[in-house]
Structure 1
Amino acid sequence: MSMTSRTITTDAIARCEAAPDLAIVEAVAIGEAESAGAARAIAKDRAFTLRKSVTDVSPDQVRTVDLQVQDTDEIFDPATDAPFQATERLHIECLPENAEAVVVDVTTAGGQIQSVHFHLHEDKHLELQNKAIRSAMERAREKAEQIASVEGLVLAEIQEATTKEVSTGLETIADEAFASSPDTNLHPAPITVSEGVEVVYELAEK
């Protein structure tokens, strides 16, 4: 391989953190009755009550994501003796600092909390992602420069640069930046964005 065609490949990983700026509270309203229609109507009425009870969010931040009616004979260890049970599932979006108040409003109104998820809005996630990529590129270049200097060479142009998937060791609904494990912890830790890069540099003589 000629000197002008020599290359070096390095990789690097960088991480950036930020406090979550979005909370999604998952709540359910349950209706129980002698018929499927009646159970559904009760669940919808209770869901309406939950919507009205949440005072820290606007109506368009509360949405129904699921509505199911089940024969209780098909439910393992049902909590009711009624033949039918309907469940309306709501997602309530709010600021992280308002999540606790939303939970209190829902439970006071007779609803049940399934989980509280903390996230980053898409624009904030993208900002952290870009920052992590820049940091990873800087680290990859530092590594390449150190290796090249040992051989008495310097870096020339970037021949190729690609991002790499970074394993977090966690099975979550999205990546590190966009999902937290479902729970009811109302004091979330910062969310981490991890990005990896692999960069191929051309080498030149000093």
Structure 2
Amino acid sequence: MASRIITVDAVGRCEAVPDLATVEAFAVGEGQSASDARTTAKDRASSLRESITDVSTDQIRTVDLQVQDTDEMFDPVTDAPVQATEQLHIDCLPENAESVVVDVTNAGGQIQTVQFQFHEDKRRELQNKAINSAMERAREKAEQMAAAEGLAVAELQEATTKDVSTGIESIVDEALASSPDTDLHPAPITVSEGVEVVYELSEE
């Protein structure tokens, strides 16, 4: 006789205060040529780096440098024919995000977003806790369903995970622009993990 099985889904959650903030900033340069605009943008990006007091230089990295003809832009903010934009990612402690934003804007930079998240080791720790919680919930559900049929849960046959949350909180530039007093001290972030589990059933 074929073995009887039951398949259940469950979600486990784990909450913690984020331990990493990434400020996305831009330095914009204009010029009569691509070379001039690029040089101006890089100079302004260098000034931004020097203005940030709460992080070390190895926590500030350039992730993109774009050069555009302003006549091809939808709403250019300069009369110069060419504009260059250097995008920076600045990693810092969450409690330092506000001062980083202030330093960048005071130095003439622009803020795109502020993302709060977890370092990789912390994220994995929370994911493991959430998976354990999901597995416990899955077994509880399986036992409840099996008991209704006069059966018991026996061997675990298969288990797969499904991500249901990134564990990242973002504050976008519109929020930062609309309120200088935007709270840059985030609430705890919930990491969630889903599982699909297959159990063999047996007679009680």
> What is the TM-score of this pair, normalised by structure 2?
0.88
Structure 1 equivalent of residue 145 of structure 2: 147
- The answer on whether the counterparts of 1:152 and 1:205 sit within 8 Å (CA) in structure 2 is yes
C-alpha deviation, 1:79, in angstroms: 0.8
C-alpha deviation, 1:128, in angstroms: 1.1
In the alignment, the residues of structure 2 paired with residue 72 and residue 148 of structure 1 have an alpha-carbon distance, to the nearest angstrom, of 67
Q: Deviations over 1:60-93 (max 9, x none)?
A: 0001111112111111221111111111111111
Q: Deviations over 1:30-62 (max 9, x none)?
A: 111222211111111111111011010011000
- The answer on whether the counterparts of 1:20 and 1:120 sit within 8 Å (CA) in structure 2 is yes
Change (3 A) 1:164 1:62: closer
Structure 1 equivalent of residue 107 of structure 2: 109
**Larger mean Cα displacement after TM superposition, 187-196 or 87-96:** 187-196
Secondary structure of the residue aligned to 1:189 is coil
AA matched with 1:76 = F
**Larger mean Cα displacement after TM superposition, 195-204 or 133-142:** 195-204
Identity %: 73
**Larger mean Cα displacement after TM superposition, 85-94 or 146-155:** 146-155
1:35-184 to structure 2, matched below 5 A, reads 35-166=33-164, 175-177=165-167, 179-183=168-172, 184=176
Q: Deviations over 1:6-39 (max 9, x none)?
A: 2222221111111111111111111112222111
1:15-54 to structure 2, matched below 5 A, reads 15-54=13-52
- The answer on whether the counterparts of 2:113 and 2:170 sit within 8 Å (CA) in structure 1 is no
C-alpha deviation, 1:189, in angstroms: 2.9
- The answer on whether the counterparts of 1:176 and 1:191 sit within 8 Å (CA) in structure 2 is no
Q: Which runs of 5+ in 2 are unaligned?
A: 177-181
Structure 2 equivalent of residue 170 of structure 1: none
C-alpha deviation, 1:182, in angstroms: 4.8
AA matched with 1:176 = T
In the alignment, the residues of structure 2 paired with residue 151 and residue 34 of structure 1 have an alpha-carbon distance, to the nearest angstrom, of 79
Q: Deviations over 1:154-192 (max 9, x none)?
A: 2221112222353xxxxxxxx422x33451451323222
Q: Which runs of 5+ in 1 are unaligned?
A: 167-174
- The answer on whether the counterparts of 2:130 and 2:193 sit within 8 Å (CA) in structure 1 is yes
In the alignment, the residues of structure 1 paired with residue 140 and residue 101 of structure 2 have an alpha-carbon distance, to the nearest angstrom, of 48
Secondary structure of the residue aligned to 1:188 is coil
Change (3 A) 1:129 1:110: same
Secondary structure of the residue aligned to 2:113 is strand
Structure 1 equivalent of residue 179 of structure 2: none
In the alignment, the residues of structure 1 paired with residue 199 and residue 68 of structure 2 have an alpha-carbon distance, to the nearest angstrom, of 61
Q: Please provide the CA RMSD for this pair.
A: 1.7
**Larger mean Cα displacement after TM superposition, 46-55 or 145-154:** 145-154
The aligned length equals 195
Secondary structure of the residue aligned to 2:169 is coil
